[in-house]
Chains A and B, each alone.
Chain A
Amino acid sequence: MNADEPTVLVIEDDPQIRRFLRAALPAHGYRLLEAETGGDGVTQAATRTPQVVLLDLGLPDLDGLEVIRRLREWSAVPVIVLSARGLERDKVAALDAGADDYLTKPFGVEELLARLRVALRHAAIVGGSQASAVFVAEDLEVDLGSRRVRVGGREVHLTPTEFKLLALLVRHAGKVVTHRQLLVEVWGPGAVGNTHYLRVQMHGLRHKLEDTPARPRYLTTEPGVGYRLREPSA
């Protein structure tokens, strides 16, 4: 086992999910730590300092939100929550409580690896690595420093609000950003709940950046949760 391999702590009471992760993750270069309960999970997160935490929201001992709160008291470790479809409100609550992203059960290994990759990259940026001032994903190019946006080499003019939104999504590229987070950042805490403001701006942004706004390549909608800007091209 390579010591450089990133460590993933999974806090999940279902043995079959852990079994699947135990088989899948090492094959893709991750070390796996397992915790069956929220309490054990918080302890292991403190003692063994994993690089990413996968947290099931339906634990028997602790509410998933409580686990996130306890972790966030002292740790910035990326947390990806696992939850079922139809429980969008739980996911949003977890994200707003400090989780970084979510995966809807059942999920495939590809999706899981993508989330882990994004989480690790953001952790590295926060940890001091140089964040690139220029975001590139396929034909989309966003220069945060000079506030220039290009699609396929052609410059696109955004309104200040659109740019603010896009810059925020770029900073979280690959991760979901909730409606609430976007509203608070762009309009202020008073705008929470007025998702409509956000949708109007996203509509404008999509029409400027996407070839087919109804089938976006860059800015995807996560119904009931928020928006996600795709990962930057490697």
Chain B
Amino acid sequence: MGRMSRDRRPDPVGWPRYAWGAGLVALCTGITGIMFPRFELSDLIMVYLVGVVVVAIRWGRGPSILAAVLSVAAFDFLFVPPHLTFAVSDTRYLVTFAVMLMVAVLISTLTVRIKEQAEIARQREQRTSALYSLSRALASTRNLDAMIAAVRRHVEEVLEGDLEVFLVDERGRLEIRAAAHPFARDPKETAVAQWVHEHSEPAGRGTSTLVGAQALHLPLVGSRGPVGVLALRLEPDRPALRTDQLHLLETFASQTALALERALLAREAHRERLAVEGEKFRNALLSAVSHDLRTPLAAIAGAASSLAQSDDRLDASARKELVLTIHEEAERMNRLAGNLLDMARLQASSVVLHREWQPLEEVFGAALHELESRLGQREVVLGVPDSLPPVPIDEVLVERVLVNLLENALRYTPAGSPIELRASAAPGEIVVEVLDRGPGLVPGEEERIFEKFFRGESARSRRGAGLGLAVSRAIVEAHGGTIRAENRAGGGAAFRFTLPVTGGPPEPPEPLTETGGGR
């Protein structure tokens, strides 16, 4: 605190304070002059004492001492016999003078101390409230940038400088977050920040290290080690921070460090979770790809080698069987490759839907056309009302959904059972259904079958683990719709997805006038 009071200059420096002190002594002299004929000298001295006390309270120690000396001089000169000389006839008055000086010094010292303590209390109060509001702001968010913004706002408000925060990145290097002030981009300043980070010691302006820096850099040290650096730049013409301000900044820094550490740990945990999920996904991908690619490959290789080596020993029907195997398995691999590609494309964050308003029946027709050979004689019941409004969809992608759902139905249902494909309009959306009369879904797996590479426990959901359904879900969700599967009353599975419809298509204009012949 001693250093603090030395640095403090609560009142304006300079002569006006002393002039006020001298003026007050003059006033006291006037009053004493009026009282002089009717009072004892020992009473008159009290007037001066009051003046000295007032000066000490109002203008501090220096002016009060000046006032004491002036009071003694004036009293001696004007009122103590012999009058109008500084000579003193009675030595008692010397004691009076000494007491008066001592009282002046004592009172002014006490007053100054009280004023200082009041000031300290005020600052402590201000600091506490600043810290409180900062800690509240820090606790209200888990976002790093929001935290840094809060620190910047509070520190800049209290200390009136430019604040920047450097944070440790994943590789342990310092990075500037959301720099708002140009000094933070100065390589010299970042070098100082780096030094501070490595040494966990303050440096820069106002310290004893790297004093040439524009800003004061403080290390941000959390409970587990350094998390970054806080840099405060004051205008070059401003004096360096006072000790109390420095303390305040340090307190801000330690609070900030703890909050940032918390956020960094949360971020790290999130990243680890993602990495684990990514790892799980990669494993599922690998096992699915190796299974789903190897199975058809094994069949193709086996069939082809049989044909190549023992063609003459195979009868026509056996040869045909082998050739069909090769064909079917190759198509299966092609479907898998297509789904993998679709999935990869849909997962790329930049999926752009090429939406166009169109009647859904076009996409139905295209999907059924694509599956024509596989559908064979399978009965397909179509339910598309003529009144169905057009939908804004990416036809290439929605056709994939239908192909995947129809293929799924073909694969898991007996050859003779019918497949239904229906569409209906609901408020704000169109509902599409693919219904079958197969064995249905395993209870509890209705949701999981849409997961990538989901492989059910039962035989009916094992083969050719679906990417198809995962692709379908990704496409439907990209359109803003939902997809769901459930068992039907009366047996079989129902796959239902929605496509949102808002607004309507633009009105088509008249076509070109006829050019070739009349109507």
Contact = CB atoms under 8 A, between A and B. Distances in A.
B356 A199 contact: yes
Nearest to A88: B396
Contacts of A212: 382
B508 A186 contact: no
Contacts, number: 92
Interface stretch (B11-19, B62-70, B261-269, B360-368): B360-368
Interface string B495-519: 0000000000110110110100101
Contact of B363 (A88, A195, A223): A223
Interface in B342-385: 342, 345, 354, 356-359, 361-366, 368-369, 380, 382, 384
A100 B214 CA distance: 71
Given A187-B509, A214-B382, A220-B369, A203 B514 contact: no
A203 B362 CA distance: 8
Sort chain A's interface into a size bin: 20 to 34
A191 B369 CA distance: 28
A187 B357 contact: no
Nearest to B356: A195
A223 B366 contact: yes
Contacts of B395: 221, 223-224
Interface string B249-276: 0000000000000000000000000000
Interface in A184-219: 186-188, 191, 194-197, 199-203, 206-207, 212-216
B353 to A, nearest CB: 12
A126 B369 CA distance: 29
Contacts of B384: 213-214
Interface in A155-193: 160-161, 164, 186-188, 191
B224 to A, nearest CB: 48
A196 B391 CA distance: 11
A106 interface: yes
B396 A223 contact: yes
Contacts of A40: none
B163 to A, nearest CB: 50
A222 interface: yes
B366 A196 contact: no
A106 to B, nearest CB: 6
A214 B361 contact: yes
Contacts of B358: 195-196, 199
B514 A106 contact: no
Nearest to A198: B508
Contact of B399 (A106, A195, A223): A223
A194 B508 CA distance: 8
Nearest to B512: A188
Nearest to B403: A223
A223 B517 CA distance: 32
B380 A215 contact: yes
A19 interface: no
A160 B511 CA distance: 9
A147 interface: yes
B222 interface: no
13 contacts: A85-B341, A86-B338, A86-B342, A86-B345, A106-B330, A108-B327, A194-B508, A196-B356, A197-B511, A203-B362, A221-B365, A223-B363, A223-B396
Interface of B: 327, 330, 334, 338, 341-342, 345, 354, 356-359, 361-366, 368-369, 380, 382, 384, 386, 390, 395-396, 399, 421, 505-506, 508-509, 511-512, 514, 517, 519
